Amino acid sequence: MKKIEAIVKPFKLEEVKDALSGVGIEGMTVSEVKGFGRQKGHTEIYRGSEYTVDFLPKLKLEIVLADEDVDAAVQAIIKAAKTGKIGDGKVFVSSIDEAVRIRTEEKGEHAI
Amino acid sequence: MKNIILTLGLIAVIGSSALTTLAADAAPPKPSLEDRITDLEAYVTNGARQTNSATALATSPGPGHNAWQMTSTALVLFMTLPGLALFYGGLVRRKNVLSVLAQCLGITGLVTILWWVCGYSIAFHSGKSWFGGLQWSFLSGVDSTPNTDYSGWVSHNVFSMYQLMFAIITPALIVGAIAERMKFSAILVFVTLWMFVVYFPLAHMIWGVDGMMNGVFNAAAKIKAIDFAGGTVVHMSSGWSALILCLILGKRLGFGKEPMPPHNLVLCMVGTGMLWVGWYGFNAGSAVAADVVAANAFTTTTLATAVASFAWPMAEWILKGKPSVLGFCSGAVAGLVVITPACGFVTAGGAVIIGIAAGLVPFFFCFKVKGWFGYDDALDTFGVHAVGGTMGAFLTGMLARNVANPNLATNLKDYVKDTAFQPLVFEQLKAIALTLVLAVVGTTVIAFAVKAVMGLRPTEEVESNGLDVSEHGEEGYHSDAYSSGRPSFANASAITETVHPSASAGRRPATV
C-alpha cells in the first residue's frame, strides 16, 4: 500500500477530487495548511505596521491506495492541479505498513 | 332694625374682603394664559422659564428634550458596549479578544458605582472651581425635575446618566494603548484612582457650573475655554494618559519581532459603525436639548467624520499603494474625535476643514511618528485620541463662530470674534496645557503607585498564553473540531452512565 500526500492550491480541490474519482479513487483526507516553496508571499499593512506574510494557504490531500493504482492517481492529480504558475504544489508518495477499517476491522488492501 | 342690618352688612363686606386678602397671601396667583404660553414657548425653544407662576411646566421636564437626552444616553453607552469593545477587540490577537471585552464591561460597572457614590457630585455640583461638593453623593436630590444650571428641560437624573456614559467611555479608551499586557485587577484599581485624580476634576473644570475652564456658561471662569462634547475631558485626558501608561508598562512580549496583526477586521469595522452612530448621542446630545445647537452639532459631526474617513485611506492609497478598511475605520474615528470639542461651535465649512485635518494628522502620527519613537501604543489611542483631541481643541479655538451657537455671545463676546486667530485660541491653548499636565502627572503618579503595590503586568507566561484563558478562564473562539475536556457537574457520574461514551466527546466537527 502507498500513501500519496499532495499539496495543491485551495481552489483546485473540486477538480482534483473529480479527477481522482475518474480513476476510481473515492476516499481522501483534506487539511488546510500553510506553506511556501519558491512562490513569494505578500505584504499586509495595518496602520503603519507592515507584515510580510511568507506562508500561503494550501490544501493537503492524503490518499492511501493499492500500489497498482498509484501511477494513475498521481497523473490525475497533476493534470487537475496544474496551472503552470509558481506555487502549484507537490506530490509525495510513501509506503504504508498497515491499514485498518475501524467499522469492520478489515486489514490490508481490504481496508482501503 | 335698619341700623343693625346695615352694620351687619358692613361687617360682612369688610370681613370677606379681609378673608380674601388672607387667602391671596397663602396661595400663588393662578397662572394666566399669557404665562402658560410663555412657558410653552420656552420649552419649545429651549429658553429659560420666564414666569414665576405655577404653570404645569414650572418644574416639569420638556418631553422632546428629555426624550432626545435619554436616546443620546443610550447611544453613548452603545459606543462602549459594544462599539469600542468590538473596535478594539477586533484589533488585538485572538487570544486576547475577551480581555478587551472584559475591560469594557468591567469599567462600565465600576465607573457607574463610583458615579453614584460621589463621582457625579464631584463633577457637577458647585463647590470649588476644580472640584465639586459632595451634596449629591448617592445621587441624593437628583430627581426627575430639571436642574436649570445644566438644562431647563432635561430631567436632572437623565442628565446625570448621560454624563455617566462619558465617564465610562473615557477610561475605556485608555485600555487601547495597554492592550494585551496589563492585569485586569491592576486596570480596575488604576481606573478607580484615575477617575478621582483626573476625570472628575477635569469634567468639573470644563463643564461644571462653576468650573474654572467653563468659558461658555461660567462668567467667572479663569480660563475662557470651550469644549462642546469632550475634546479635552475625554480624548486628551485618555489619550495622553494612555501614552504615559504604555510607556510605564513597556512593550508587549515579542513586539517588533512577532507579527501581531488584527485578528478580526470585520469586528473592528462593525465596532466602527457603532461608534459613528453612537457618537451622534455623544456630540448632538451634548446640547442637552433637542434644539438648533444640537441640529448644528449633528450636521458638523456627520461632515467631519465622513470627510476624515475618506481622507485617511486616500492618503494610504497615495503613500502606500492601497486604501485599507482599517484606514477607513481609523479615519472615521479620528474625524469623530477631532470634531468632538468643536461640533456645537463651528459651521459646516469648519467641519469639513476639521475632517481633512483629522484624516491626515493622526494618520501621520500612526504611520510615521510611532515608528520614529518605537513606543507600543497597541491600538493607537495616543495617535488618534491624544493627537486628535489636542488638535480638535485647538481648531475649535480657530473655527468657533457666533453664527453657529448663540450661547457664545453670553460670556465670550471678547473672545469669539469670528476670525482665525481670535482671543479664544489662546484660552484653548491654556486649557490644552492644563489638561495635558493633569493627565500626564496624574497618570504617572497613579501608575507607579499601582505598580509598586500590586504590579501592572501579568507574568510572561500569562501574557504568552493570552489573557483570556489566564485571567478570565474563557476562550473567545472555541473550535468544535478540536474540543476536548468534559464539563463537570455535581451529578457528573449519573450523566456519563446513561449517555453513550462516544457521544460525550462532543458534537460532530464543524465542516471546513
Our measurement of the distance from residue A82's CA atom to the centroid of its chain's CA atoms, rounded to an integer in Å, reads: 12
Alpha-carbon span B215 to B212, nearest angstrom: 8
Closest chain B residue to the Cα of A53, Cα to Cα: B259
ipTM of predicted complex? 0.76
- Closest CA–CA distance from residue A51 to any residue of chain B (Å): 7
Domains and CATH numbers, chain A: 2-111 (3.30.70.120)
Nearest-5° Cα angle at B123, B194 to B444? 20
Amino acid letter for position B66: N
Residue of B34, B494, B44 whose CA lies nearest to B289: B44
Residues on A contacting B at a C-beta cutoff of 8 Å: 30, 32, 44-49, 51, 53
Residue B55: Cβ within 10 Å count = 20
Which chain A positions have a beta carbon within 8 Å of B269's beta carbon?
Answer: none
Which chain B positions have a beta carbon within 8 Å of A47's beta carbon?
Answer: 326-327, 330, 366-367, 380
- Residue-level pLDDT at B507: 46
| Burial category of B64 from C-beta neighbours within 10 Å (exposed 0-12, middle 13-18, buried 19 and up) | middle
- Closest CA–CA distance from residue A47 to any residue of chain B (Å): 6
Residue B335: Cβ within 10 Å count = 34
Average pLDDT over residues A17-26: 94
Residues on B contacting A at a C-beta cutoff of 8 Å: 259-262, 316, 320, 322, 324, 326-327, 330, 366-368, 370-371, 380, 512
HEC readout, B58-116: CCCCCHHHHHHHHHHHHHHHHHHHHHHHHHHHHHCCHHHHHHHHHHHHHHHHHHHHHHH
Closest partner residue to A51 among B259, B326, B367, by Cβ? B259
- Residue-level pLDDT at A82: 97
Average pLDDT, chain A: 94
Which pTM does this prediction carry? 0.88
Cis peptide before B82 (omega within 30 of 0): yes
Amino acid letter for position B118: C
- Residue-level pLDDT at B22: 53
Q: A32-81: per-residue pLDDT in tens?
A: 999 998 888 888 888 888 888 888 999 999 999 999 999 999 999 999 99
Yes or no: say if B121 and B136 are a contact pair by the CB < 8 Å rule.
yes
Which chain A positions have a beta carbon within 8 Å of B327's beta carbon?
Answer: 47
Cα–Cα distance list, B467 to B173, B251, B340 (Å):
18, 15, 33
Give which of A47, A52, A60 to mutate to test B binding, by max B Cβ within 10 Å. A47
Task: Please judge whether B261 and A47 are an interchain contact, meaning their C-beta atoms are less than 8 angstroms apart.
Answer: no
What tens-digit pLDDT sequence spans chain B (512 residues)? 777 777 676 766 665 655 555 554 556 678 899 999 999 999 999 999 887 788 888 899 999 999 999 999 999 999 999 999 999 999 999 999 999 999 999 999 999 999 999 999 999 999 999 999 999 999 999 999 999 999 999 999 999 999 999 999 999 999 999 999 999 999 999 999 999 999 999 999 999 999 999 999 999 999 999 999 999 999 999 999 999 999 999 999 999 888 899 999 999 999 999 999 999 999 999 999 999 999 999 999 999 999 999 999 999 999 999 999 999 999 999 999 999 999 999 999 999 999 999 999 999 999 999 989 989 999 999 999 999 999 999 999 999 999 999 999 999 999 999 999 999 999 999 999 999 999 999 999 999 999 999 999 999 999 999 999 999 999 999 877 666 677 777 555 554 444 444 444 444 444 43
Which chain B positions have a beta carbon within 8 Å of A32's beta carbon?
Answer: 512
- Residue-level pLDDT at B508: 45
Which chain A positions have a beta carbon within 8 Å of B368's beta carbon?
Answer: 48
Task: Please judge whether A47 and B371 are an interchain contact, meaning their C-beta atoms are less than 8 angstroms apart.
Answer: no
- Closest CA–CA distance from residue A79 to any residue of chain B (Å): 25
Which chain B positions have a beta carbon within 8 Å of A48's beta carbon?
Answer: 366-368, 370-371
Yes or no: say if B179 and B378 are a contact pair by the CB < 8 Å rule.
yes
Please state at what angle helix B292-320 crosses helix B325-339, rounded to 10 degrees.
140
Yes or no: say if B472 and B98 are a contact pair by the CB < 8 Å rule.
yes
Which DSSP letter does residue B382 get? Answer: I
Closest partner residue to B320 among A30, A45, A51, by Cβ? A45
Give the contacts of A13 (CB within 8 A, at least 6 positions apart): A30, A59, A61
Residue of B405, B399, B402 whose CA lies nearest to B421: B399
Give the contacts of B299 (CB within 8 A, at least 6 positions apart): B348, B351
CATH topology of domain B64-465: Ammonium transporter fold (1.10.3430)
Nearest-5° Cα angle at B500, B494 to B505? 95
